[in-house]
């Protein structure tokens, strides 16, 4: 459909749209998104798209806010001396992340377990740590490993186990287009890696329903 004269006047060059956006720098994500929208064959001046570049920038900055997260500040001293030596598990931690290969979402649940070594971590801190690493451009394998290594470094437990189950939009929306395929990854440290019976126990507890 041809553009109206009034719409055509709104944009004569890519730089003019940037001037229409309040507080938008020519080097910002929003400014570059205007060019992306145009390259896709759309009109970035039509009503539904005029502020889309700013919305996309805001969404991307939130979805990648984990780069600014400091695990020690997240824990904020919530480490407690406790005489407890059995497994601690936080199951079914929901997460969303962004695949670094196609910048499409992947999502699912993560289970985190550890064997304390005279210290435990506040339970609410574990989901916050998951978010800190999920809100980045990621691959599932690295995400799983980073969570395990961070718990290990923070409280030095006798073992850490992390299992991640996720669905990837890069498989669901494009490529093989399989809607119900899950990817499962795990990271086992310390006793969970070295002792089969300990590993089997924690996997059984993670899978109980």
Catalytic residues: 99-102, 140, 168, 170
Give how far the C-alpha of residue 35 lies from the chain's centroid of Cα atoms, to the nearest Å. 26
Task: Transcribe the chain into DSSP letters.
Answer: -PPPHHHHHH-SSHHHHHHHSTT--TTSHHHHHHHHHHHTT--TTSTTTTTHHHHHHHHHHHHTGGGG--HHHHHTT-EEE----S-EEEEEEEEEEEETTT--EEEEEEEEEEE-SSEEE-TTHHHHHHHHHHSSEE-HHHHHHHHHHHHHHHH--SEEEEEEEEEEHHHHTSTT--SS--EEEEEEEEHHHH-HHHHHHHHHHHH--
Rg (CA), the chain: 23
Number of Cβ within a 10 Å radius of residue 177: 8
């Amino acid at each position: 459909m041809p553009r109206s004269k009034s719409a055509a006047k709104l944009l004569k060059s890519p730089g003019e749209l940037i001037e229409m956006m309040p507080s938008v720098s020519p080097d910002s994500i929003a400014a570059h998104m205007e060019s992306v929208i145009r390259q896709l064959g759309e009109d970035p001046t039509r009503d539904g798209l005029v502020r889309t570049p700013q919305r996309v920038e805001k969404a991307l900055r939130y979805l990648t806010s984990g780069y600014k997260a400091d695990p020690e500040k997240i824990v904020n001293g919530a480490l407690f001396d406790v005489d407890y030596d059995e497994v601690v598990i936080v199951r079914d931690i929901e997460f969303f992340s962004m695949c670094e290969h196609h910048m499409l979402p992947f999502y699912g649940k993560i289970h985190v377990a550890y064997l304390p070594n005279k210290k435990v971590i506040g339970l609410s801190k574990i989901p916050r740590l998951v978010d800190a690493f999920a809100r980045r451009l990621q691959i599932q394998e690295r995400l799983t490993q980073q969570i395990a290594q961070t718990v290990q470094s923070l409280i030095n437990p006798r073992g850490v186990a992390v299992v991640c189950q996720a669905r990837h939009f890069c498989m669901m929306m494009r490529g093989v287009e399989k809607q119900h395929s899950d990817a499962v990854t795990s990271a086992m440290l310390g006793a969970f890696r070295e002792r089969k019976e300990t590993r089997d126990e924690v996997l059984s507890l993670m899978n109980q329903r």
